[in-house]
């Protein structure tokens, strides 16, 4: 018998619990991401979850990819959404499906996944220009640039900011949010302390709700950063990279993960250069 997509989605969490008792995996976050990713792919492809699992053809998966990209997602992000389908078709799932008497066809996903190039740090001269430019910003442009340069946020996440993203714990103000791009992969929540100087200036502007950050704000920032020497249609994204790279250099990969919300493998692959360690000459013996 070939089950429906809906039936597999209802069964998957149950068998995941059994498997977790045996091996410790998959975790709850993985299970949720697999289910959400599957639902999104089906919706994007125009497939009802009441359809049989054979409806998840290469043609329909490609259709979902095209839909994601048409909505403004990058190719890599669209592929990350589609890759969640692999959870339902994982090797460890198949014996459980077989016990239920189900016939599960093999899943055919796009084979190509381009690797992002390693980050190239701007020159000290260009970074100096960025600092001078940043000091001259006012209100909406300053807040937008600050969210990227000081907190490593993406443009899209800055546009989603509300007062609820700013919380107070133990007399310390924090920025708290889940990056939209990695919501279905790592699902990692960012909780990063806000410097008093930054918080005072945000409050002086009347808080986030009083600052009108729009896509036009980023268009202006992009244009100004291209004048400084950055290239590309999303030059403002370079502010996020500068933030993450400097946190990585100063405090290491784990802190870079904390501020970015990215998976540690992404941080290491994109920012870390094994041939250029960020330390001076040391004796490992002295660290023991």
Based on the domain organization, do 47 and 156 belong to the same domain?
no
d(Cα 123, Cα 126) in Å, to the nearest integer? 5
Based on the domain organization, do 156 and 216 belong to the same domain?
yes
Instruction: Assess if residue 280 is contained within a domain.
Output: no
Read off the pLDDT band of 54 (50, 70, 90): very high
Choosing from 99, 115, 139, the residue where a domain stops is 99
Q: Are 244 and 259 in contact (CB under 8 A)?
A: yes
Based on the domain organization, do 186 and 257 belong to the same domain?
yes
Based on the domain organization, do 157 and 39 belong to the same domain?
no
Could you tell me the two tokens for 22?
Answer: 């045996």
With 90 as the cut, is the pLDDT of residue 132 above it? Answer: yes
Based on the domain organization, do 130 and 192 belong to the same domain?
yes
pTM assigned to the model? 0.64
Instruction: Assess if residue 107 is contained within a domain.
Output: no
Q: Are 52 and 3 in contact (CB under 8 A)?
A: yes
Instruction: Give mean pLDDT, residues 253-260.
Output: 92
Based on the domain organization, do 91 and 227 belong to the same domain?
no
With 80 as the cut, is the pLDDT of residue 261 above it? Answer: yes
Domain hosting 265: range is 124-271
List Cβ neighbours of 154 (8 Å cut-off, separation of 6 or more). Answer: 148, 179, 180, 181, 237, 240
With 60 as the cut, is the pLDDT of residue 18 above it? Answer: yes
d(Cα 40, Cα 34) in Å, to the nearest integer? 10
d(Cα 3, Cα 15) in Å, to the nearest integer? 15
Based on the domain organization, do 9 and 146 belong to the same domain?
no
In DSSP terms, 192 is beta-bridged to 175
Instruction: Assess if residue 283 is contained within a domain.
Output: no
Domain count, the chain: 2
Instruction: Assess if residue 51 is contained within a domain.
Output: yes
Q: Model confidence over 210-225: pLDDT tens digits?
A: 999 999 999 999 999 9
Q: Looking at residue 211, what is its pLDDT?
A: 92
Nearest to 213 by CA among 176, 177, 160: 160
List Cβ neighbours of 278 (8 Å cut-off, separation of 6 or more). Answer: 248, 249
List Cβ neighbours of 163 (8 Å cut-off, separation of 6 or more). Answer: 207, 208, 209
Decide: helix, strand or coil at residue 241: helix
d(Cα 74, Cα 49) in Å, to the nearest integer? 25
Based on the domain organization, do 168 and 227 belong to the same domain?
yes
**Residue 82 exposure: Cα atoms within 13 Å on the Cβ side:** 30
CB atoms within 10 A of CB 193: 13
- Considering only 101-105, 228-232, 237-241, 246-250, which range has the smallest mean pLDDT? 228-232
Q: Are 235 and 225 in contact (CB under 8 A)?
A: yes
Decide: helix, strand or coil at residue 1: coil
Q: Are 253 and 230 in contact (CB under 8 A)?
A: no
What percent of the chain has a predicted confidence (pLDDT) above 70?
91
Based on the domain organization, do 161 and 75 belong to the same domain?
no
Mean pLDDT of all residues in the chain? 88
Based on the domain organization, do 221 and 82 belong to the same domain?
no
Instruction: Assess if residue 112 is contained within a domain.
Output: no
d(Cα 25, Cα 71) in Å, to the nearest integer? 33
Q: Looking at residue 205, what is its pLDDT?
A: 94
Instruction: Assess if residue 260 is contained within a domain.
Output: yes
Based on the domain organization, do 87 and 190 belong to the same domain?
no
Sheet bearing 172-177, strands edge to edge: 166-169, 172-177, 190-193
Based on the domain organization, do 73 and 135 belong to the same domain?
no
d(Cα 232, Cα 247) in Å, to the nearest integer? 23
CATH code, domain carrying 202: 1.10.443.10
Instruction: Assess if residue 21 is contained within a domain.
Output: yes
d(Cα 47, Cα 94) in Å, to the nearest integer? 23
Instruction: Assess if residue 106 is contained within a domain.
Output: no
């Amino acid at each position: 018998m070939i089950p429906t997509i809906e039936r597999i989605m209802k069964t998957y969490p149950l068998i995941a619990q059994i498997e977790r008792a045996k091996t410790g995996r998959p975790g709850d976050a993985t299970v949720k991401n697999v289910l959400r990713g599957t639902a999104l792919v089906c919706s994007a492809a125009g497939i009802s979850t009441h359809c049989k699992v054979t409806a998840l053809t290469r043609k329909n998966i490609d259709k979902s990819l095209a839909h994601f990209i048409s909505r403004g997602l990058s190719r890599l992000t669209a592929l990350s959404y589609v890759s969640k389908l692999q959870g339902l078709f994982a090797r460890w799932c198949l014996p459980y499906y077989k016990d239920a008497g189900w016939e599960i066809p093999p899943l055919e996903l796009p084979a190509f996944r381009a690797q992002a190039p390693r980050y190239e740090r701007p020159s000290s001269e260009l970074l100096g220009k960025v600092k001078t430019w940043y000091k001259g910003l006012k209100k909406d442009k300053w807040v937008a640039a600050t969210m990227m340069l000081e907190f490593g946020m993406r443009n899209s996440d800055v546009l989603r900011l509300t007062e609820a993203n700013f919380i107070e714990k133990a007399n310390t103000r924090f920025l708290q949010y889940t990056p939209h791009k990695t919501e279905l992969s790592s699902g990692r929540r960012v909780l990063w302390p806000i410097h008093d100087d930054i918080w005072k200036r945000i409050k002086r502007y009347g808080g986030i709700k009083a600052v009108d950050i729009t896509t036009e704000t980023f268009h202006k920032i992009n244009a100004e950063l291209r004048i400084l020497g950055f290239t590309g249609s999303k030059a403002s994204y370079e502010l996020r990279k500068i933030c993450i790279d400097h946190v990585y250099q100063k405090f290491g990969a784990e802190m870079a993960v904390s501020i970015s919300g990215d998976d540690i493998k992404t941080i290491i692959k994109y920012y870390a250069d094994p041939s250029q360690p960020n330390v001076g000459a040391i004796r490992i013996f002295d660290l023991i």
